[in-house]
């Protein structure tokens, strides 16, 4: 199952994150990229609460 988040940075830049669960955390695709980044639950929470891009 994939969850889609629209995240706005403090500067007003918006990113779309497609997030799905994996064995060790989450796979994240940013802005329809074909590059996947694997992150932990803690890293996902931080990215959603304090976007820095």
User: Tell me, what's the pLDDT at 45?
Assistant: 94
| Average confidence (pLDDT) over 2-29 | 94
Give yes or no for residue 21 having a pLDDT over 90.
yes
Q: What is the DSSP string of 2-26?
A: EEEEEEE-TTS-EEEEEEEE-SSSE
The pTM of the whole model exceeds 0.85: no
Convert 28-48 to b/e letters by CB count within 10 Å (16 or more is b). bbbeeeeeeeebeeeebeebe
Give yes or no for residue 41 having a pLDDT over 80.
yes
Q: 20, 37 in Cβ contact below 8 A?
A: no
User: Tell me, what's the pLDDT at 52?
Assistant: 80
Give yes or no for residue 53 having a pLDDT over 90.
no
User: Tell me, what's the pLDDT at 36?
Assistant: 93
Give yes or no for residue 20 having a pLDDT over 80.
yes
């Amino acid at each position: 199952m994939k969850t889609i988040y629209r995240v706005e940075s403090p500067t007003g830049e918006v990113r779309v994150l497609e997030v799905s669960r994996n064995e060790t955390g989450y796979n994240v695709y940013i802005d329809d990229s074909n590059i996947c980044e694997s992150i932990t639950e803690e890293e996902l929470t931080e990215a959603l609460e304090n976007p820095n891009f």
